[in-house]
Amino acid sequence: MKKILVTGGLGFIGSHTVVELLNANFDVVIIDDLSNSKIEVLDSIQEITGKKPDFFNIDLRVKEKVNHFFSENHIDGIIHFAAFKAVGESVQKPLDYYENNIGSLVYLLQEMRDRKLDNFIFSSSCTVYGQADELPITENAPIKPAESPYGNTKQIGEEIIKDTCKANGLNAIALRYFNPIGAHDTAKIGELPLGVPQNLIPYVTQTAAGIREQLSIFGDDYDTPDGTAIRDYIHVVDLAKAHIAALQRLIEKKNDTNFEFFNVGTGKGSSVLEIVKAFENTTQQNLNYKIVGRREGDVTAAYADTTIANEQLGWKTEKTLEEALLSAWKWQEKQ
């Protein structure tokens, strides 16, 4: 069995990807520093799959610890999720974001270089496109200047990987996520936002659960049909499966070049108001919301052209928006 390292494997997308890796009969080892996840997620993964991956609580900013891990573990591939990911926080603490998101990436790539390891999957983001000039967004869309240090770490991260692949023959794929939402059908794993949720769906479910008083919709004066901003909301299980498809592409050496990147979304845009209405209809919950001013840094609309990912990865989304919203609600009810 191929042994895959999943960094950030106890996080939201990481844990769902670990489940799919185990289901696909990979051997999995997780590194997570628990800064944005809980150790209980490991037990939930075992409950879902019947398998308990090896787990190491390692801070990837410490080069010696990263080096020691690789001297003790032979790895056939890496899926790298571990990173700070709060856009607003990154504006307040840029150096924390550059140290963690870039530093840990460099240390992992140095180990791969020195030990001739291969097959690297990088968690990137549609944030790299900023407000794209054309919709839906294809992989040829230009990379725009980052609107936040967080987005910049994704852009810089891709550049570092591209240069490393060129210099050292590493094979890597960056997956540019659109908006991951929802939870596993078992409701045993899902999104665990720390503190006040920054993202829309956890705020919606916490409002419906009475944890939050009211959802604030950030602006209804955008140039969209109902005035609220449009995003491409993808079920986290569909997103997790895209990682398996990308990893298998590298392991089977089907990649065309040694650094590839793919947009991973549903290809469908939904506005904030459409999400609210779909949530209410799907869950029969009434949502208390109000319209407020725009949030700094938000783009009007972003949704993926999924042609390349569908064709090259042999992957496409299977779950509907309603299934994603319902799974998010079922998960919230269990908290």
Active site residues: 150
- The residue count for binding ligand WQD (CB under 6 A) is 18
Q: How far is the CB of 329 from ligand WQD (least distance, A)?
A: 16
Tell me which of 22, 82, 121, 217 binds ligand WQD, using CB under 6 A.
217
- DSSP β-bridge partners for residue 175: 123, 262
For the stretch 210-243, what's the b/e string if a residue is b when 16 or more beta carbons lie within 10 angstroms of its beta carbon? eebeebebbbbebebeeebbbbbbbbbbbbbbbb
DSSP structure string for 7-51: ETTTSHHHHHHHHHHHHTT-EEEEE--SSSS-THHHHHHHHHHS-
Instruction: Report the residue from 2, 99, 211, 218 that binds ligand WQD according to the rule CB under 6 A.
Output: 218
Rounded least distance, CB 333 to ligand WQD, Å: 20
Residue 298 makes contact with ligand WQD by CB under 6 A: yes
Determine if 144 is a binding residue for ligand WQD (CB under 6 A). Answer: no
Interface positions, 24-83, toward ligand WQD (CB under 6 A): none
Residue 229 binds to ligand WQD (criterion: CB under 6 A)? yes
Candidates 55-63, 161-169, 214-222, 261-269: pick the segment binding ligand WQD (CB under 6 A): 214-222
Residue with tokens 């089977």: 252
For position 198 contacting ligand WQD by CB under 6 A, the verdict is yes
Q: Which of 70, 97, 203, 315 binds ligand WQD (CB under 6 A)?
A: 203
Alpha-carbon span 282 to 326, nearest angstrom: 6
Tell me the C-alpha distance between 195 and 186, whole Å.
24
Of the pair 120, 129, the CB lying nearest ligand WQD is at 129
Out of 60, 87, 240, 244, the only residue in the binding site for ligand WQD (CB under 6 A) is: 87
CA 19 to chain centre: 15
Q: How far apart are the first and last CA of the chain?
A: 35
Identify whether the C-beta of residue 24 lies closer than 8 Å to the C-beta of residue 244.
Answer: yes
Q: Which of the stretches 111-119, 212-220, 238-246, 280-288 binds ligand WQD when contact is defined by CB under 6 A?
A: 212-220
Residue that has been written with the tokens 């209410």 in this structure: 280
90 binds ligand WQD (CB under 6 A): no
- Regarding 220 and contact with ligand WQD (CB under 6 A), the answer is no
